[in-house]
Structure 1
Amino acid sequence: MVAWNNLVTSVTLAVCASFAVAAPYPRDAKHITHHVRHLPRDLKLNTYHPASTFKIFGRGIDHSLSKRQEATLGEITTAFLAEELGLEAERVAYRTGIQGTTASHAYLRQAWSGIPFANAVANVAMKDNKIVSYASSFVKYDSIAPATPSVSVEDAIAAAEAATQGSYNAQEPTLEYYMKDDNTAVLTHVVQVQNVQTGDWYEAFVDAHSGEVISVTDFVARASYLSVPFGDVTIEESGLELIQDPQNLEASPLGWHSDGTNDFTTTEGNNAVVFKGVGQQLLATSQSSAGLNFNFEVDLTTDPDANAVNVDAARTNAFVISNTLHDITYLYGFTEDAFNFQINNQGNGGVGNDPVLISVQDASGVNNANFATPPDGQPGQMRMFTWTFTTPERDGALENDVVIHEQTHGVTSRMTGGGTGRCLQTLEAGGMGEGWSDAMADWVANSAAIDDFVVGSFVFNNPAGLRSFPYSRSAAVNPLRYSDLQVLTEVHEIGEVWANMLHNVLAALVDDLGFSETAQTDPTGTEGNVVFMHLFLDALQLQPCNPDFISARDAWYEADAIRFDGANTCTLEKAFASRGLGLRARNHVDDASVSRACR
Structure 2
Amino acid sequence: MFTSLRAFVLCVAALSSSTLAAPWPTHVQHSTHRTRSLPNGAKVQLYHPKSSFEIYETGVDNPLSKRSDPVHFTDAGLAFLRSKLGESDDFMSIRSSYAGPHSSHVYVKQRVNGIPVANAVANVALNSKGDVVSFASNFIKVSGFAAPSTKAKITADAAIDHAAKALGGRHTGRAPELEFLATEDGTLALTHAVRLEIDGSKHMVEAYIDARTGEVRGLVDFTNDLHMRVVPVTKSDPTVAYELLKDPEDKKASPRGWGAAEDRDWHATVGNNAIAFKGNVTTFSIEQIIETAAKESAPGVFDYKFDLASDPSSTNNLNAARVNAWYVANMAHDILYRYGFTEEAFNFQNNNFGKGGNETDVVFISVQDASDNNNANFATLPDGEPGIMRMYLWSDFQPMRDGDMSNQIILHEYTHGMTNRMTGGGTAVCLQTTEAQGLGEGWSDAFAEWVAQTANSGYVHDFTIGGYVTGDNTAGIRSHPYSTNRGVNPLTYANVKDSEEVHNIGEIWGQALHVVHAALVQTLGGAKDALTNPDAENGHTAFLHLMIDALALQPCNPSFTDARLAWIQADQNRYNGKNKCNLWLAFAYMGLGVGAEDYTNSHKVPEGCPLKYTKPAATA
TM-score normalised to structure 1 length = 0.94
Equivalent position of 2:95 in the other structure: 95
The reply on whether 1:532 has 2:534 as its aligned counterpart is no
| Identical pairs, percent | 43
2:461 to 432, 451, 458: 451
Alpha-carbon distance, 1:44 to partner: 2.5
Inter-partner Cα distance in structure 1 for 2:214 and 2:195:
15
Give the length in aligned residue pairs: 586
SS in 2 for 1:236: coil
Question: Structure 1: how far apart are the matches of 2:153 and 2:178?
Answer: 12
In structure 2, the partner of 1:475 is 486
Question: Which whole-Å CA distance do the structure 2 matches of 1:10 and 1:304 have between them?
Answer: 27
When structure 1 is superposed on structure 2, of 569-578 and 270-279 the one drifting more is 270-279
Pair 1:462-2:472 in alignment? yes
Q: Does 2:298 align with 1:296?
A: no
> Partner letter of residue 179 of structure 2?
E
Tell whether 2:609 aligns with 1:598: yes
Superposed CA offset, 1:348-379 (max 9, x none):
11111011100111100000100000101110
Aligned to 1:263: 265
Matched to 2:49, the amino acid is: P
Find the partner of 2:178 among 158, 175, 179.
175
> 1:41 Cα shift?
7.1
Contact residue 92 and residue 110 of structure 2 kept, 8 A: yes
* Residue of structure 1 equivalent to 2:167: 164
SS across alignment from 2:264: coil
* TM superposition shift of 1:10: 9.0
Alignment correspondent of 2:219: 216
Which of 412, 418, 421 pairs up with 1:414? Answer: 421
Q: Secondary structure at the match of 1:104?
A: strand
Q: Is 1:568 matched with 2:579?
A: yes
1:88 Cα shift?
A: 3.5
The residue number in structure 2 matching 1:132 is 133
For 2:260 and 2:243, the matched residues in 1 are separated by 24
Pairwise CA distance, 1:87: 2.6
User: Matched residue of 2:411: which SS?
Assistant: helix
Q: Which residue of 1 aligns with 2:62?
A: 63
Match for residue 356 of structure 1? 363
- Secondary structure of the 1:335 match is coil
Residue in 2 that maps onto 1:494: 505
Matches of 1:266 and 1:184, distance apart in 2: 52
Q: Letter of the aligned partner of 1:520 in structure 2?
A: L
Secondary structure at the counterpart of residue 343 of structure 1 = coil
> 1:203·1:217 contact (CA, 8 Å) conserved in 2?
yes
1:288 and 1:6 map into 2 onto residues whose CA distance is 32
Question: Alignment partner of 1:377: what SS?
Answer: coil
Aligned partners of 2:510, 2:557: CA distance in 1, in Å?
17
User: Per the alignment, do residues 540 and 225 of structure 1 end up closer, same or farther by CA in structure 2, a change over 3 Å counting?
Assistant: farther
More divergent stretch after superposition (453-462 vs 259-268)? 259-268
- Which is further off, 388-397 or 279-288? 279-288
Alignment of 1:189-338 (within 5 A): 189-195=192-198, 197-223=200-226, 232-238=235-241, 240-277=242-279, 281-282=288-289, 283-290=292-299, 292-305=300-313, 307-338=314-345
Paired residue for 1:184?
187
User: How far does residue 90 in structure 1 lie from its aligned partner after superposition?
Assistant: 2.1
Q: CA deviation at 1:169?
A: 1.0
2:566 maps to: 555
Counterpart for residue 618 of structure 2: none
Contact 2:23 2:45 survives alignment (8 Å)? no
User: How far apart in 1 are the matches of 2:379 and 2:89?
Assistant: 35
- Match status 1:75 vs 2:95: no
Aligned to 2:352: 345
C-alpha spacing 1:576/1:143, structure 2 compared with 1 (3 Å): farther
Superposed displacement of residue 71, structure 1: 3.6
Following TM superposition, by how much is the alpha carbon of 1:264 offset from its aligned partner in structure 2, in angstroms? 1.1
**Whole-angstrom CA distance in 1 between matches of 2:609 and 2:497:** 28
Q: After TM superposition, give the deviation of residue 455 of structure 1 in Å.
A: 0.9
Give me the whole-angstrom Cα distance separating, in 1, the residues matched to 2:405 and 2:39: 32
CA contact (8 A) 1:78 1:93 kept: no
Is the 8 Å Cα contact of residues 231 and 444 (structure 1) preserved in structure 2?
no
Corresponding position of 1:512 = 523
Cα distance in 2 between the residues matched to 1:519 and 1:175: 46
Q: Is the 8 A contact 1:78 1:92 kept in 2?
A: no
Distance 1:18 1:509, change over 3 A: farther
Deviation digits for residues 422-454 of structure 1, max 9, x if unmatched? 000000000010000000011000123211111
Contact 2:40 2:200 (C-alpha < 8 Å) held by counterparts:
no
Q: What is the aligned-residue RMSD (CA, Å)? A: 2.3
Q: Deviations over 1:395-444 (max 9, x none)?
A: 00101000000000000000000011100000000001000000001100
> 93-102 or 163-172, which moves further after superposition?
163-172
* 2-structure distance, mates of 1:19, 1:209: 20
Match of 2:154 among 151, 154, 165: 151
Check whether the contact 2:459–2:525 (CA below 8 A) recurs between aligned residues. Answer: no
User: Scaled by the length of structure 2, what TM-score is found?
Assistant: 0.91
Instruction: Kindly indicate whether the alpha-carbon contact (under 8 Å) linking 1:39 and 1:163 is maintained by their aligned counterparts in 2.
Output: no
* Kept after mapping to 2: 8 A contact 1:144/1:186: no
Q: Matched residues in 1 for 2:20 and 2:310: separation? A: 38
Structure 2 letter corresponding to 1:300: L
Contact kept, 8 Å, 1:224 with 1:404, in 2: the verdict is no
**CA distance in structure 1 between the aligned counterparts of 2:196 and 2:470, rounded to whole angstroms:** 33
Whether the 8 Å contact between 1:339 and 1:415 is mirrored in structure 2 is: yes
Structure 2, gaps ≥5 residues long: 611-620
Q: Describe the SS at the equivalent of 1:598.
A: coil
Can you give the 5+ residue segments of structure 1 that lack an aligned partner in the other structure? Answer: none
Q: 1:224–1:402: 8 Å Cα contact kept in structure 2?
A: no
Aligned-partner Cα distance in 2 for 1:70–1:209: 47
In the superposition, relative to structure 1, how do residues 357 and 400 fare at CA in structure 2: closer, same or farther (>3 Å)? same
Q: 2:445 aligns to what SS in structure 1?
A: helix
Distance in 1, Cα, partners of 2:39 & 2:246: 46
Query: 1:390 matched to which residue of 2?
Result: 397
SS of residue matched to 1:237: coil
Amino acid at match of 1:64: P
- 1:286-342 residue CA offsets vs partner (Å, 9 max, x unmatched): 00001x20001111002211x110000000000000000000000010000110000
Residue 163 of structure 1 and its aligned partner are, at CA, apart by 1.8
Amino acid at match of 1:439: A
Contact 2:369/2:390, CA 8 A, preserved across alignment: yes
CA distance, structure 1, for counterparts of residue 80 and residue 162 of structure 2: 39
How many angstroms apart in 2 are the aligned matches of 1:45 and 1:224?
21
Q: Distance in 1 between matches of 2:272 and 2:227?
A: 24
| Counterparts of 1:491 and 1:362, CA distance in 2 | 23
1:465, distance to aligned residue in structure 2 (A): 2.4
Which letter does structure 1 place at the counterpart of 2:273? N
Alignment partners' CA distance in 2, 1:7 and 1:262: 21
Q: Is the 8 A contact 1:144 1:184 kept in 2?
A: no
Q: Distance in 1 between matches of 2:234 and 2:80?
A: 45
